Structure 1
Amino acid sequence: MNKLSWNEFEDCIYSIYTQCKNKHFEGVYGFPRGGLCIAVALSHSLGLPLLGKPKNNCLIVDDIYDSGQTLEQIRHLKGTQTHVWISKKIPTWWNSYKYIEGKEWIVFPWENINAADIDSDLYYQSRA
């Protein structure tokens, strides 16, 4: 199990900010739940509205690219840029702050480490 820190979160936000600060997005969309934390931070940093749904010409973020099931939903949108904090696959059409190999469960700073085993079980059941 890999527990990420708030300092690592801030480093990720700064990295995405520097890559996107000169782009002209209509807003920032973050997938619930983990993507919302990243989207709110970037919305403030970039001075962009937080969007309730993904749309063309926006910045799309999520906490992790694991199976790809979530991000594949928005791949067809035009003018977007997609960033994740952690990618468990080598990024092709999306951007990743950090790439990791293996199936190690990631615990983000906003998550309860005591519930990580339950969260992991629920996630893998939903993907079965």
Structure 2
Amino acid sequence: MRKRYTYAQFDTDVKKLARALRPRTDRFDAIYGVPRGGLVLAVCLSHSLGKPILLDPRRITKRTLVADDIADSGATLKALLKRQKVFLVVTLYRTTHSRMRPDFSCRTKKKNDWVVFPWETDASSAYDGTLKMRRPRAARISRFP
């Protein structure tokens, strides 16, 4: 089933995560957002918690909070954890079958549910392969005189 996740839900969830993380801010120095879905969450948590964003995954340490939109199969987060010593992982959603259980998540989805986040578009989802559809046509560019 296709589920739409709204900005209102996102705002509520960011506040919940920030509230849960605030007593633990001494345990991490920076926040890394897994591209692309985790970037929005990472920026909002950075503002809420007063922690800087880490852009280079090679600089992740055990004192880095890793944010992602969803822990679905868990493969992305598990691969990141294998390469780096991540201390805390937060997601907006997790699935019951995920191989990687985040330290904090706000919502659980069923295996066959498809979550559409408000910052996603059909074009961006087609680009990264998360939505099976025809690739959008390239825009026609006019020549300038």
State the TM-score, normalizing by the size of structure 1: 0.82
How many residues end up aligned between the 2 structures? 123
User: Partner of 1:47 in structure 2?
Assistant: 50
The alpha-carbon deviation at position 100 of structure 1 amounts to: 1.2
The alpha-carbon deviation at position 57 of structure 1 amounts to: 0.8
The alpha-carbon deviation at position 86 of structure 1 amounts to: 0.8
Contact 1:65 1:89 in 2 (8 A): no
- Greater gyration radius: 2
State the TM-score, normalizing by the size of structure 2: 0.74
The alpha-carbon deviation at position 11 of structure 1 amounts to: 1.0
The alpha-carbon deviation at position 12 of structure 1 amounts to: 1.1
- Which of structure 1's runs of 4+ aligned residues deviate more than 6 A? none
Rate the CA distance shift 1:79–1:3 in 2: closer, same or farther, 3 A.
closer
Flag structure 2 segments of 5+ consecutive residues without an equivalent.
Answer: 133-145
Contact 2:97 2:111 in 1 (8 A): no
Query: SS at 1:111's partner residue?
Result: coil
Flag structure 1 segments of 5+ consecutive residues without an equivalent.
Answer: none
Supply the distance in 1 between the matched residues of 2:86 and 2:113 (Cα, whole angstroms).
33
The Cα RMSD (Å) is 2.4
User: Partner of 2:16 in structure 1?
Assistant: 15
Q: Matched residues, percent identical?
A: 30
